[in-house]
Amino acid sequence: MSQLFSPYQLGNLPLANRIVIAPMCQYSAENGNASDWHTIHLGHLALSGAALLIIEATAVEPEGRISPFDVGLWSDENEAALAKVLEAARRWSDMPIGIQLAHAGRKASVAQPWHGGAQLGPDQGGWTVSAPSAIGFESYPRPPRALGRDDIARLVEAFAAAARRSVRLGLAAIELHGAHGYLMHQFLSPLSNRREDEYGGSLENRMRFPLEVYEAVRATVPSGYPVGFRISGTDWVEGGWDIEQSIAFARAIQARGADFIHVSSGGLSAAQKIPLGPSYQVPLARAIKQATGLPTIAVGLITEPEQAEAIVGTGEADLVGLARGILYDPRWPWHAAAALGASVKAPEQYLRSQPRQYPKLFA
């Protein structure tokens, strides 16, 4: 029996298999409002046969967007727009849909990637960005404003408010974005956090803001509701955030009741040296899982069914996350199930597409 297609449980959420569609920014919202593009994007991924679909990094305040075109969940208007998208997807799919709540910090206020991704000035639709310390991201010309204690308290509440909206929307899980050089990662890494108060310096202090966010969100959602973190397991820079600190952070969120950890890497510094290759981030997930036992999602150049099967089957991670690979092949779970002798759920409208050589593919 395929381990990749075995069931799993995150908190009170049953999953049909071990395939997660990771958050993928689309830079296609309007004033934080999910658009028709999101109906198409999320709708077709909800028909893919994966177990869980996580909505892209969703800003908890306007200044927390990566670009002016990011999805947000800070207002009633944002909530209504996302509800419309979810209604369309749910009409045709019962796949659980979660959300990633985020704040970009010093990496905010940039152009869409296909327009170069450069930092935008106020005259270009950009805004003043903020961070733990007034240290800018290397390639961006304008330094951030250092957050004060009142700002930090306000942001903790902004995450909690977005979590309340997420629950009202019927979203199945919340992932907090502490990876890829965005705000919570900026607090965690000594490369970007040079504060001298209780939010900087020691590892305990650098973890304080992300843990306060987690505790505020956990206090907001119902008992058993899955809440987890996405982290960068390492900055890939000497003297930066690393796997030992990641394990310490995983233990801290585990002690507070976290349901999962989603392990990526990098994104904080242009000096990063990433050894790209198949499964290149899986050892980070494996190290955290072995040290803590916390349910773990592995991601990063996982492209082949046998590769994903081995990751789950050997216990390197509990689930695998797909991002660019499932954009390239939106039916990846179908093809993986066929290759591994498993079955997958397909919409009734597509049942006639089942290949004759895989008569048990569609459950």
Q: Domain locations in the chain?
A: 8-353
94-105 pLDDT per residue, tens: 999 999 999 999
**Model confidence at 139, in pLDDT bands (50, 70, 90)?**
confident
Residue 51 has pLDDT above 90, yes or no: yes
On the question of pLDDT at 363 being above 90, the answer is no
- What average pLDDT does this structure show over 297-301? 96
Q: Is the pLDDT of residue 135 over 90?
A: yes
> Once rounded to an integer, what is the mean pLDDT over residues 79-101?
98
Distance CA 356, CA 344 (A): 15
pLDDT tens digits along 245-282: 999 999 999 999 999 999 999 999 999 999 989 999 99
Q: Per CATH, the architecture of 8-353 is what?
A: Alpha-Beta Barrel (3.20)
Strands 13-15 and 8-10, bridge-based pairing: antiparallel
How much is the pLDDT for 318? 98
Q: How far apart are CA 301 and CA 284, in angstroms?
A: 14
For range 356-360, the mean pLDDT: 95
Rounded CA separation 231/244 (Å): 13
- Beta-bridge partner residues of 176: 101, 229
- 8 in active site: no
Taking residues 137-166, what's their average pLDDT?
96
Is the per-residue pLDDT at 138 higher than 90? Answer: no
The percentage of residues in the chain with a pLDDT greater than 70, rounded to a whole number, is 100
Average pLDDT over residues 234-242: 97
**Residue type (1 letter), 81:** A
pLDDT (average), residues 214-219 = 98
Q: How far is the C-alpha of 66 from the C-alpha of 99, rounded, in Å?
A: 16
Name the band, by pLDDT with cuts 50, 70 and 90, for residue 288. Answer: very high
Catalytic site residue from 8, 27, 140, 182: 182
Q: How many helices (H) and strands (E) does the chain have?
A: 11, 12
Q: Tally Cβ neighbours within 10 Å of residue 143.
A: 15
- Residue whose entry in the numeric block shows the structure tokens 């991002």: 323
pLDDT of residue 44: 96
Band of the pLDDT at 85, cuts 50, 70, 90?
very high
pLDDT, mean over the chain:
97
Contact 331, 19 (CB under 8 A): no
| Threshold 0.95, pTM exceeds | yes
Whether residue 296 is predicted with pLDDT greater than 90 in this model: the reply is yes
Tokens representing residue 278 in the block: 């198949």
Whether 184 contacts 177, CB under 8 Å: yes
The Cα 72–Cα 139 span in angstroms is 25
